[in-house]
Amino acid sequence: MDRRAFARSLLGAAGLLALGDAPARAAEAPDAWQAAFDARRTQQPWQMGFEGLQADAAPMPLEMRGRIPPALYGSFYRNGAARHVLGGERYHHWFDGDGMLQQYRLGPQGAVHSGRFVRTGKFLADSAAGRPVRAAFGTNPPAAEPIRSADALNVANTSVVSHGGELLALWEGGSATRIDAQTLETRGLKTWTPEYAGMPFSAHPRIGRDGSLWNFGVSSAAGVLSIYHVSPDGRDVRTASLQVPDIAMVHDFAVTERHLVFLLPPLVFDLERMRAGQTFVASHVWRPEMGMRVLVLPKDRLDAPRWFMLPAGFVFHIGNAWEDARRGVIQLDYIRSPDAWWATQGLQDLMRGRYQSADQAAMALVTLDLQSGQARQELLPHAAEFPRVDPRFVGQRTRHVLVAERVAAGPRPGFDAVTRIDLQTGRADRYRYGTEVLVEEHLFVPREGRPEGHGWVLGTALDLQRRAMLLSVFDAQHLADGPIAQGVLPRVMPMGLHGIFVAA
Ligand SMILES: [Fe+2]
């Protein structure tokens, strides 16, 4: 689609308002969710990870055991939904709450933690009203304001990226938000180009070997997939958009040397549901007969899509993808769920203190044959999430993927281990935190000059017995040996999503 036609498509009634019109349906009384949450909290310690915060987290040092390697001096930033309740009204989905950017400042003196809510337009409007007055991913508050733009609902709560000299808090339905890397203060929305102001910019950009950043955005109501390519210094931005029939909920993508790869689970947006007053998440329909479509776009021919087909399944995250030019294939690994139940229902139930069963996730290895157009998939038995690879090898062949894994977590949500999976042998190097700890995403921090997967693993976890956060550093080659350094932050932070490490 050319730019002018694209701009026209966005000006239509079903255009820029990615989340549709104002909800008409009277929501279930939100206080019922808070009451349900409160009723179970003493029996279910895991709920402390979903209680939420009301204020910024002032700087606080961690009690350190072991020494932080000098290569990790810098900032470990994390993002996640952190205000789940306002004025007694509790949100109905884990992804709804306002984003808080957290910083663990690491240096020779140890680690200091702080956290600050992103001052989005929604955060400010809701705060001023004393209750949620704008819709969220899975909640339509009663008497909510009409939705005037996607960014009116932006909670900047999903991930964080550092690129072109800027730190950006990311959501996926609207703009990135600029953050002061030192003070965590909010500097405003990021505009990449005037035509793409306010357009969705996903929470999973990929920075490849050349330092340029690729990202995408899904405009659900318009059925448009937008592509961004940003030069390493952030100054040169190329954009494109294409119409995708039956657009799906797409949270992540992959880049290879020559291609962009999208997995489209059959969780398809239905504008009529949204017009009828459903929440954004409930406006998606599970249509397994469609299978999992795979869209492959050549980086130099974004107008020449290729399609592949996999069995129906749901996906949030892709680990990595790369080209095997000799075999003429793209290899890709992702976390596959058999359906979208956990995403749509399981993560809602947590917010009212309900937990039925874990997501039935597995690590999936995919081969896309560019000659024959065939796709093959193999499953590895790891109930895992948050796949991360050595950042030096994004889009290149990788052998190791790091995940938060559920080994024997018991009757509660989340993960109890951090695991490095060798995709060639299937071997797993694993550290089990234990069943009283909720494990968050862990990252690779590479040791320069060494091969892929060499360096450190850095991550956080919530210790339910100590009511404290654990910040752990592992030798990436020896996870099972346990942390080489660990800090204890004596306060509970809400279970979050994604993070990055930025060297000092
Ligand atoms: Fe994500």
pLDDT digits (tens, 9 = 90+) for 251-306: 999 999 999 999 999 999 999 999 999 999 999 999 999 999 999 999 999 999 99
How close is the Cα of 210 to the center of ligand 1, in Å? Answer: 23
pLDDT digits (tens, 9 = 90+) for 142-164: 889 988 899 999 999 999 999 99
How close is the Cα of 165 to the center of ligand 1, in Å? Answer: 22
| DSSP H or E segment with residue 201 | none
| Residue 467 identity (one-letter amino acid) | R
Q: Chain centroid to CA 35: how far?
A: 28
Instruction: Report the b/e string of 394-425 with b at 16+ CB within 10 A.
Output: bbbebbbbbbbbbbebeebbbbbbbbbbebee
How close is the Cα of 217 to the center of ligand 1, in Å? Answer: 13
Question: DSSP code of 335?
Answer: E
How close is the Cα of 143 to the center of ligand 1, in Å? Answer: 30
How close is the Cα of 44 to the center of ligand 1, in Å? Answer: 26
How close is the Cα of 244 to the center of ligand 1, in Å? Answer: 21
How close is the Cα of 376 to the center of ligand 1, in Å? Answer: 24
Q: How far apart are CA 160 and CA 17, in angstroms?
A: 24
pLDDT digits (tens, 9 = 90+) for 55-103: 999 999 999 999 999 999 999 999 999 999 999 999 999 999 999 999 9
How close is the Cα of 497 to the center of ligand 1, in Å? Answer: 7
What is the average per-residue pLDDT within 328-351?
97
| DSSP H or E segment with residue 25 | none
What single string gives the DSSP state of each residue in 68-123?
Answer: --GGG-EEEEE--EEE-EETTEEPSSTT-SEEEEEEEEEETTEEEEEEEE---HHH
Phi-psi region of 90 (alpha: psi -120 to 50; beta: other; left: phi over 0): beta
How close is the Cα of 425 to the center of ligand 1, in Å? Answer: 26
What is the average per-residue pLDDT within 23-33?
59
pTM: 0.94
How close is the Cα of 172 to the center of ligand 1, in Å? Answer: 9
How close is the Cα of 67 to the center of ligand 1, in Å? Answer: 30
**Is the pLDDT at 395 greater than 80, yes or no?**
yes
Residue 359: predicted pLDDT: 82
Q: How far apart are CA 464 and CA 138, in angstroms?
A: 27
Strand 254-255 and strand 259-264: the pairing is antiparallel
How close is the Cα of 280 to the center of ligand 1, in Å? Answer: 17
Q: Are 62 and 470 in contact (CB under 8 A)?
A: no
**Is the pLDDT at 23 greater than 50, yes or no?**
no
Residue 357: predicted pLDDT: 87
CATH superfamily of 3-503: YVTN repeat-like/Quinoprotein amine dehydrogenase (2.130.10.10)
